[in-house]
Structure 1
Amino acid sequence: MMKTLTAAVAFAAVLAGPAAAFDPENMTDAERSAFRAEVRAYLMDNPEVLMEAIGVLEQREAETQAQADQNLVSSNMDALVDDGFSWVGGNPDGDITIVEFMDYRCGYCRRAYPEVEELIEADGNIRLIVKEFPILGEGSTLSSQFAIAVRQLHGDDEYEAVHEALINMRGDATEESLSRMAETFGYDADAILEQMNSDEVAAEIAETRALAQRLQITGTPTFVMADQMIRGYLPLEQMEGIVDSVRADRG
């Protein structure tokens, strides 16, 4: 913010006087002092100019970040949509793909879960890809290991049910609590726990973490919707708006 404010002050300074007169390199100390006083007086009389300049700079920074994110998404698209292991839900042939990097212990992921489900169900033409991205400690890692182990041993349908159970789970995720969950679903708890610690599960988590690093993703949830990256929770109405905008752009 300080960098933005400094730049905005410089921008406002240009507005305070003729562009041709603004040559700080050739100013005398007296001229520089007088100029600073004039700028200060101008900003005190017209504070809205400073706020407007900050707004313009922040908008430009947001646009630059959005373009950088689009470039990252484009260069990593194959890994995002076809890594060979991430669970795919919704309509597998949907005209729009949403990729979600999520953590079961993340409060905003839990908040987003029913809204993403509502979007997928109501729309009917969206493919959802879930990336297991545990970043919030041991409970997160155990939860992702459990979900991946279930998918590897029992398939996608069982993963979907366990995914919902884990995102709604109350209390700590431990080997004991996950063993009880496995038994509730009718699985061999020992087999699940053994698979959780397998190289196959570790490889999937490591590959997703490497992808997240390339995309400069450090938090959850993070969504990739078409070529846009949304870092953080997004309300249902805004997700619907992005989907509509993507389809409109495609004609």
Structure 2
Amino acid sequence: MKKLLSAITLVAVASTITPFSVQAAPLDGQQQQQVRELVRSTLVENPDILVEAISELRKRELQAQENAQKTSLEAKKDELFNTPGDPFIGNPKGKVAMVYFADYNCGHCKRQDLILEQMVKQHPDLKIIYKELPVLGGASREVAELVLAAHKNHPDVYQKLHQRLMSRPGRHDSTSIAAAFKAEGLDIETLKKKVDNNIKAKIDNNLRLASELGIRGTPATVFADEVLGGFTKADQLSEKIKSRLN
């Protein structure tokens, strides 16, 4: 460590001392080689310095990411929590609101969805806003558009349809999508005609919003001050909610 400090001191002195307002000359070749040898020998003798430096760099990167995410959350608050026409469950005037990005073909979303239903039962002052995020191919986009059309035209059926689609193991295709809608008494061909530019734009906006928040996949749950990427266990999510209710 003393050798490394000596090397750093040598560089600092050579580069910053400016007697009589004259810039010091740069290190010559011999001095540069001396600095390299001092740094190299110090790191070889003390490899923990590298580990410590990498750890500190990682901490700073994570802190920068967290700060950037909080800034983005503040800027996107209205889009997240006040977009007209977004489906939701729970208390419409809940003290705590949470946004949920999901894909009907995402296995972890199917597990997360059951936990969210549990959360609104446990926490009567909770509102969960659904944002379709079809990131797993064409069938995901197809079902997301049709679900939003169903919500717009048959809001009373939406939640049962959502649960039915999420409860199916594995991925959906056009056949399984049509079967789910039929089971809820909805004519899928009629709904296809209801998929307008507003619905398509809503999904495009969800995809953009997720990207701007640093969300790279589904599921993702978002509070006003925090993004939880990936599957979150019931006890962990419940604690997050409780801390915001208090």
Please classify the TM superposition score into its range, dividing by the shorter chain length. 0.7 to 0.9
- Kindly state the Cα deviation for residue 91 of structure 1 after the two structures are TM-superposed: 2.2
- Kindly state the Cα deviation for residue 216 of structure 1 after the two structures are TM-superposed: 4.7
- Kindly state the Cα deviation for residue 134 of structure 1 after the two structures are TM-superposed: 0.9
Distance, in Å, in 2 between the alignment partners of 1:54 and 1:116 is 38
Distance, in Å, in 2 between the alignment partners of 1:245 and 1:55 is 30
Distance, in Å, in 1 between the alignment partners of 2:102 and 2:180 is 20
Relative to structure 2, which stretch is displaced further, 166-175 or 221-230? 166-175
User: Is 1:225 aligned to 2:214, yes or no?
Assistant: no
The one-letter amino acid paired with 1:160 is: Q
The residue number in structure 2 matching 1:234 is 232
Aligned length: 234
Distance, in Å, in 1 between the alignment partners of 2:50 and 2:234 is 34
Equivalent position SS for 1:85: coil
Give structure 1 stretches of 5+ with no counterpart. 1-12
The one-letter amino acid paired with 2:30 is: A
The one-letter amino acid paired with 1:182 is: F
Distance, in Å, in 1 between the alignment partners of 2:2 and 2:151 is 61
The residue number in structure 1 matching 2:72 is 72
The residue number in structure 2 matching 1:87 is 87
Cα shift readout 1:59-98 (whole Å, capped 9, x = no counterpart): 1111111111111111111111111111121222222211
User: Any conservation in 1 of the 2:134–2:141 contact (CA below 8 Å)?
Assistant: yes
The residue number in structure 2 matching 1:42 is 42
Alignment RMSD (CA, Å) = 2.7
Equivalent position SS for 1:127: strand
Distance 1:169 1:118, change over 3 A: same
User: Any conservation in 1 of the 2:165–2:177 contact (CA below 8 Å)?
Assistant: no
Distance 1:45 1:108, change over 3 A: farther
Distance, in Å, in 2 between the alignment partners of 1:46 and 1:244 is 46
Relative to structure 2, which stretch is displaced further, 198-207 or 124-133? 198-207
TM-score (norm 1): 0.79
Equivalent position SS for 2:84: coil
The residue number in structure 1 matching 2:201 is 203
- Kindly state the Cα deviation for residue 172 of structure 1 after the two structures are TM-superposed: 4.4
User: Any conservation in 2 of the 1:139–1:173 contact (CA below 8 Å)?
Assistant: yes
More helix by share: 1
User: Is 1:22 aligned to 2:23, yes or no?
Assistant: no
- Kindly state the Cα deviation for residue 151 of structure 1 after the two structures are TM-superposed: 0.9
The one-letter amino acid paired with 2:121 is: E
The one-letter amino acid paired with 1:16 is: L
Aligned-residue sequence identity (percent) comes to 26
Cα shift readout 1:15-36 (whole Å, capped 9, x = no counterpart): 9314533338633333333333
The one-letter amino acid paired with 2:162 is: H
User: Any conservation in 2 of the 1:70–1:228 contact (CA below 8 Å)?
Assistant: yes
Cα shift readout 1:115-148 (whole Å, capped 9, x = no counterpart): 3333333233221111011122111011212211
The residue number in structure 1 matching 2:21 is none
User: Any conservation in 1 of the 2:74–2:224 contact (CA below 8 Å)?
Assistant: no
Distance, in Å, in 2 between the alignment partners of 1:63 and 1:107 is 31
Equivalent position SS for 2:168: coil
The residue number in structure 1 matching 2:22 is none
Distance, in Å, in 2 between the alignment partners of 1:16 and 1:118 is 57
User: Any conservation in 2 of the 1:66–1:229 contact (CA below 8 Å)?
Assistant: no
TM-score (norm 2): 0.81
Distance, in Å, in 2 between the alignment partners of 1:14 and 1:109 is 54
User: Any conservation in 2 of the 1:43–1:50 contact (CA below 8 Å)?
Assistant: yes
Relative to structure 2, which stretch is displaced further, 225-234 or 159-168? 225-234
The one-letter amino acid paired with 2:104 is: Y
Distance 1:33 1:239, change over 3 A: farther
The one-letter amino acid paired with 2:5 is: G
Distance, in Å, in 2 between the alignment partners of 1:111 and 1:53 is 39
